[in-house]
Amino acid sequence: MGQEIEAKVRISDVAAVERAIADLGADYGGAWVEIDAFFDHPDRRLFEGDSALRLRVSQPLDETARRLQRAVLLTYKGPREPGRLKVRPEHQVDIPDPAAMREILRGLNYSEAFSYEKRRRRWRFQGAEITIDELPLLGFFVEVEAPNEAQVDQLLARLGLAASDVLTTSYVRLLRDRLGESSDKALRFAD
């Protein structure tokens, strides 16, 4: 991809957003549990530098997701640019063996600093991705990621979210703020 251009909005009326997505005619991309593990050096240079190194394992929750079977992804996210939306460098690769990747990261002096899981449903629409995310302790969010800021803004308007506060804060930061800065917990949904 090269660059992430994204808006994140906290929502309370999930059904209204789902109806708006259906009205768009967006292509459904399945329901998933995504387990995101973030790695950093002991000095926390990535986190302190507003960057991230994430290993994401996606588990399908429905038939659409099982058909699509997403790869395990290793993603580097660079520092955010100033602005209303979250714009930052992003590079990712498919990882066929997540256990081996964890060992490589450990060998490079990275350790797992924080992890969480979220439930995510995905849609594609005209080159953009729309997701509805549910996170433990935080609730529901919509993320709109598109090739440019104008398309993100247009989609927010079509979803009825143009007047909503756009968050540029990552889920990691929101969760750490909620749990306490020194938290090194792995946050999962209760079974």
The whole-angstrom separation of Cα 4 and Cα 53 is 14
Residue 32 tokens, joined = 């998933």
Q: Tokens 């498919």 sit at which residue?
A: 94
In this predicted model, what pLDDT tens digit does every residue of 99-143 receive, in sequence order?
A: 999 999 999 999 999 899 999 999 999 999 999 999 989 999 999
The whole-angstrom separation of Cα 75 and Cα 83 is 22
- Does the pLDDT at position 190 exceed 50? no
Q: Tokens 């950093």 sit at which residue?
A: 40
Tell me the domains of the chain and their CATH numbers: 2-187 (2.40.320.10)
Q: In the chain, at which residue ranges do the beta strands (DSSP E only) sit?
A: 2-11, 27-40, 52-60, 72-77, 86-95, 111-125, 128-135, 139-145, 186-187
- Does the pLDDT at position 167 exceed 90? yes
Residue with more model confidence, 181 or 42: 42
- Does the pLDDT at position 191 exceed 50? no
The confidence score (pLDDT) of residue 56 equals 97
Q: What's the whole-number mean pLDDT along residues 80-103?
A: 95
CA angle 142, 148, 151 (to 5 degrees): 60
The confidence score (pLDDT) of residue 71 equals 83
Residue 61: closest CA among 136, 132, 159 = 132
Contact between 159 and 129 (Cβ < 8 Å)? no
The Cβ-side half-sphere exposure at 158, using a 13 Å CA radius, reads 15
The confidence score (pLDDT) of residue 182 equals 56
- If pLDDT is split at 50, 70 and 90, which confidence band does 187 have? low
The whole-angstrom separation of Cα 188 and Cα 136 is 7
- If pLDDT is split at 50, 70 and 90, which confidence band does 189 have? very low
Percent with pLDDT over 70 in the chain:
94
